[in-house]
Structure 1
Amino acid sequence: MISRYLGDQITHIQPTKKAILLIGARQVGKTTLLKQLFSDALWLYGDDADTRQQLSNPNETVLKNQLGTNKTLVIDEAQRIENIGLTAKIITDRLPNITLILSGSSAFELANKLNEPLTGRKWELQMFQLSYDEMCNYHTAFTENRLLKQRLLYGYYPEVVLGEGNQQTILKEISSAYLYKDILTWENIHKPDKLERLIQAIALQVGQLVSYHELGQIAGLSSATVERYINLLEKAFVIYRLGSFNRNLRNELNKSRKIYFYDNGLRNAVINQFQPIELRNDIGALWENYLLAERTKYLSAKKIYCNRYFWRTKDGAEIDYVEEYNGEIYAYEFKWSSATKAKFSKSFVEQYKPVETKLIHSENYMEWLR
């Protein structure tokens, strides 16, 4: 069994009696983890029509009868239940001996229903695909490092990691069956082909500055619709945006953004490219996407809170990744080959005086992700 960091976090906060909200992309292992932690709980499923009807307009008496002697209630796919926020509020306020856990794959829907009713009454945790660190703990860092090229191609979805020999089939199933499900369901999108073209265009521009206008031309969408779809894809945990760092220099880009995928395998499945690393011309994009995704997981697991950016000027000077902790700057360049020399902009270094400037490559990345 692969131990997940969130398991320890959930166990630690459980005695507080606040509701626990576990969110994340489909197929990352939310239900599996909760089954391990709360096997004796009462489980209710938002996919079930009877459950939706019973929990949409409940009262304290109905909930008490339904819970019986159970001390823990898990509601899976909670975003599908109308008024779930009010239901959760009743449980946390009036049934203090009940531990309530809610899970869902649709942040934009679940958060909207829970934020106001559960203000001050919940812990919100995001679950990612498996991480480099978790896999090192599972079968040693030596073994995981040997699998680096495979991770760049197939990523860290649990079913993919455990499905030796079937990675492409599993990823294509995830990308076709689950990738757009929340968005298509909740946003009533009637032309998923344009959404698919949009995400393919994003996948081909990983690590590059993106233009909503250009993406719209490729997908046949307006710039406003592109921005709305990107926002939805981000809230469904498919992609995330990285903004540009700017403070003082006149020629810094200040409204630009880059877009990355939470998982390399999903990115490759979207564009149906699984050629070996040695035969690819996008190794730089794969490496950058991998490092940023794993760094995201690392920061979340270690509860390190920082601002995250890339940096670029109008004349093309660039730094791949910048972290800001309490006003201190750390700058990183990403190169697949350890033989490549890192060049950090003189103007950036002089202006911001970073605490650290470091090249992250395939021979030293391990220390940066654990």
Structure 2
Amino acid sequence: MIERTLTGRLVALSQKFQVVTLTGPRQSGKTTLVQATFPELPYVSLEEPDIRQIALTDPRGFLANFPNGAVLDEVQRTPELFSYLQRIVDENRTIQFILTGSSNFLLLERISQSLAGRTAILHLLPLSLEELPPGDASYERVIFQGRYPRIFDRNLAPTDFYPAYLQTYVERDVRLMKNIGDLDAFIRFVQLCAGRIGQLLNYASLANDAGISPNTAKSWLSILESSYIIHRLQPHHRNFNKRLVKSPKLYFHDTGVACSLLGLRDESQVNLHYLKGALFENLVISEFIKHIYHRGDNHQLYFWQDSLGREIDCLLVAGEAMTPVEIKAGKTLSTSYFDNLSYWQSLPGAPQTPAYVVYGGDRSLQTSAGALVSWRELDSIPG
């Protein structure tokens, strides 16, 4: 088993909360992690139809089988259990339940109704670069391969794994969350999203290209976000005396999923693709998100862009501390990489904090304008 960064936080919270809820995309390693971390608890998969039927028809009798608690996997399939869990943990202060689910929306909806204040919530995304270092692999290979554990555990080709993964996602998770009549239209919509990585979200344009209404586009984006397929990166809210954009940017939680949707069949195609820079940016953004989620931090991630198009790709915000980061796919140093950072730091009210450029090269260097950081050494950036 690959050691997961989240393990320590998971254990720590289980000692403070009787219920710990672990969410994340399907096949991100949730089941493996909780079984390895809590071997003393019985494991129950609520994806199994016969087990799920018992839990739905006789929830009180079902839970009585676990007097010391259990790991309940894919618990969003049995939302009726939550109100019964509330009573059990209120009456028994020693019992422990670990819940997992691949639909953040359905889980949080039920938690807010029944388990608010009684459960800690953690998020497990696919493997990070610190959990599975890239070794000698190029970033093009890492982008194409993605970071889902099963690819590495079973030595699967991305072209075999991702089409099957996406089909399973659509047939199970999407149908569970919303009754979408035309699944082919939904898949085309997701493919259009992949073509907009790193761009400001224009809901009307996206809806028009997909042949759906803007409200439907917003609803489908919410489905993709709650099931950990996409992430909408929000613009930073502080104005620094300039008019700022208000639309979020679109990224995928895993670049392998995005490459599959874009129809890429080989890592060499990443190098020639018109979205190469956006895919590299997506890789770095997703690593920052994993860094936050897998430590259970309350840090925030934003971008900054003014009305003239000047932007900072990423702002790492921790309380009052703010770290600006530019992301460049180039593998050789260019002084122009720091232009936007220098402009941003010159604005009245902008924090005078160290600036960083993450680039596609292998060496990290300190320059007079700021630090140039290799994509392999993202952990050297504070925040």
Same fold (TM over 0.5): yes
**Unmatched 5+ stretches in structure 2:** 363-373
The corresponding residue for 1:139 is: none
The corresponding residue for 1:339 is: 333
Deviation at 1:128, TM superposition (A): 0.6
The corresponding residue for 2:155 is: 164
**What SS does the corresponding residue of 2:316 show, helix, strand or coil?**
strand
TM-score (norm. length: structure 2): 0.87
In angstroms, what is the RMSD of aligned CA positions?
A: 2.2
d(CA) in 2 for partners of 1:113 and 1:90? 14
Report whether the alignment pairs 1:349 with 2:345.
Answer: yes
- 306-315 or 288-297, which moves further after superposition? 306-315
Whichever residue aligns with residue 11 of structure 2, its letter is T
**What SS does the corresponding residue of 1:209 show, helix, strand or coil?**
coil
Whichever residue aligns with residue 219 of structure 2, its letter is R
Change beyond 3 A, Cα 1:86–1:65: closer
The corresponding residue for 1:33 is: 33
CA offset digits 1:73-93 (Å, max 9, x no partner): 111111111322212212211
d(CA) in 2 for partners of 1:15 and 1:33? 16
d(CA) in 2 for partners of 1:228 and 1:64? 34
The corresponding residue for 2:52 is: 52
Number of equivalent positions: 361
d(CA) in 1 for partners of 2:64 and 2:295? 40
CA offset digits 1:306-332 (Å, max 9, x no partner): 332212122221221112222333211
The corresponding residue for 1:144 is: 135
d(CA) in 2 for partners of 1:174 and 1:165? 12
Deviation at 1:167, TM superposition (A): 2.1
Deviation at 1:156, TM superposition (A): 0.1
Contact 1:22 1:101 in 2 (8 A): yes
The corresponding residue for 2:174 is: 183
d(CA) in 2 for partners of 1:246 and 1:34? 37
**Unmatched 5+ stretches in structure 1:** 137-142
List aligned pairs for 1:318-329, cutoff 5 A.
318-329=311-322
The corresponding residue for 2:14 is: 14
**What SS does the corresponding residue of 1:360 show, helix, strand or coil?**
strand
Whichever residue aligns with residue 275 of structure 2, its letter is D
Report whether the alignment pairs 1:97 with 2:94.
Answer: yes
Whichever residue aligns with residue 377 of structure 2, its letter is E
The corresponding residue for 2:84 is: 87
Deviation at 1:175, TM superposition (A): 1.6
The corresponding residue for 2:375 is: 365
d(CA) in 1 for partners of 2:354 and 2:48? 52
**What SS does the corresponding residue of 1:4 show, helix, strand or coil?**
coil
Whichever residue aligns with residue 356 of structure 2, its letter is K
Contact 2:9 2:295 in 1 (8 A): no
d(CA) in 1 for partners of 2:341 and 2:7? 42
Whichever residue aligns with residue 267 of structure 1, its letter is A
TM-score (norm. length: structure 1): 0.90
Structure 2 counterpart of 1:305, from 298, 307, 329? 298
d(CA) in 2 for partners of 1:298 and 1:26? 19
Deviation at 1:145, TM superposition (A): 4.7
**What SS does the corresponding residue of 1:174 show, helix, strand or coil?**
helix
CA offset digits 1:157-192 (Å, max 9, x no partner): 011233436221111111222256312222111111
- 283-292 or 338-347, which moves further after superposition? 338-347
Identity of matched residues, %: 25
Whichever residue aligns with residue 44 of structure 1, its letter is V
Contact 1:58 1:87 in 2 (8 A): no
Change beyond 3 A, Cα 1:292–1:44: same
